[in-house]
Structure 1
Amino acid sequence: MDEDSARAVYDEVPRVELTRAAAELLLRLREAHGPLMFHQSGGCCDGSAPMCYPAGEFRTGGSDVLLAELDVPGVEEPVTFWMSRSQYAVWSHTRLIVDVVQGRGSGFSLEAPEGVRFLIRSRVVGA
C-alpha cells in the first residue's frame, strides 16, 4: 500500500469508538446528569483513564484536542471526547476504544459511584 492509500485508510478510521457496555453506561449517565463529555489528560493513576463529566464542566482550551463527537444510541447530542495535546502526540496513531470495567476509578468521573470505571483500549492504525 502506498503512502497516500495508507493515509486515506487512516483518515477513515474512527479515532474513538465505544464498546456496547460503554454506550449503555453513557445512556444511564446521560439520563442522570444531562449532556456529557470525556477528557483524557494522561499522567499516572486515574489521569491515564478517560474522565466523564457533565458537558462543559471540564474547561478545555488550546492545550486540548477534540478527537471525536461520539454518537450514543438513545442520546440525542454527541458525547465529545477531548484529550490533552501532549497526550495526543503519543496516541496519534491509535484508535481509542472506550470500554467499562469493574472497580472504582476517580471520584471525579461520573461513573465512579456505579462501581465501574471507563478504560481505554487501543489499536495502532495506519502503520
Structure 2
Amino acid sequence: MVKRVLISENARQVLEQLKSQHGELMFHQSGGCCDGSSPMCFPKGELMLNETDVYLGDIANCPFYMSKDQFEYWKHTQLTIDVTKGRGSSFSLEIPLGLRFVIKSRLFTEDELLQMGPVDTVKN
C-alpha cells in the first residue's frame, strides 16, 4: 500500500533525538499562514485534535495529522517530512535546535491514487 506521508533519514535522526528528550511525539500541519503551514512536532497529546483533523499515517512511530482544509489541497500528493537549518517561528520541538521540519511533495500517479484508502478523521 502506498503511504501518504514519509520521513527522510535526516529528519528521522532529529526525531529520534527529540524522542529521547520529550518521549512520544506527534506531528500536525494546520495550514495556517507562514509557519502554520509547516509540519509541527509536539509531545504526543499536547495538541488537542478534533473532527477537523485527519490522520495520514505514522512516521518513525509518530502519528501525523493535518487539518481537513489542508488535506483537500495535499490529497493528491505524497508528503515527505525533511529537516533544514534555520529557525521557524512556531512551537515545534525542533526549533531550539536551529532546525525546522519542512515538507517535500510529489504527485501520486493515477495507479497510486486508485490504491489510496480514505483518511480517518480524529474521533474524541
Once the two structures are TM-superposed, the CA of residue 107 in structure 1 deviates from its matched residue by 3.7
SS at match of 2:31: coil
User: Identity rate of aligned residues, in percent?
Assistant: 50
**Which aligned segments of 4 or more residues in structure 1 are displaced greater than 4 angstroms?**
none
Corresponding position: 1:23 with 2:12? yes
Once the two structures are TM-superposed, the CA of residue 126 in structure 1 deviates from its matched residue by 2.7
Find the counterpart in structure 2 of residue 6 from structure 1.
Answer: none
Match of 2:34 among 27, 42, 45: 45
- Gap regions ≥5 residues in structure 2: 111-124
Match of 1:114 among 91, 97, 105: 97
Corresponding position: 1:94 with 2:77? yes
Contact 2:28 2:39 in 1 (8 A): yes
Larger Rg: 1
Question: How does the TM-score come out when normalised to structure 1?
Answer: 0.84
Corresponding position: 1:80 with 2:63? yes
Match of 1:68 among 54, 57, 75: 57
What is the number of equivalent residue pairs in this alignment? 110
Once the two structures are TM-superposed, the CA of residue 106 in structure 1 deviates from its matched residue by 2.7
- Gap regions ≥5 residues in structure 1: 1-11, 73-77
Once the two structures are TM-superposed, the CA of residue 44 in structure 1 deviates from its matched residue by 1.6
User: How far apart, in 2, do the equivalents of 1:31 and 1:64 lie?
Assistant: 27
SS at match of 2:36: helix
Question: How does the TM-score come out when normalised to structure 2?
Answer: 0.86
User: How far apart, in 1, do the equivalents of 2:89 and 2:20 lie?
Assistant: 21
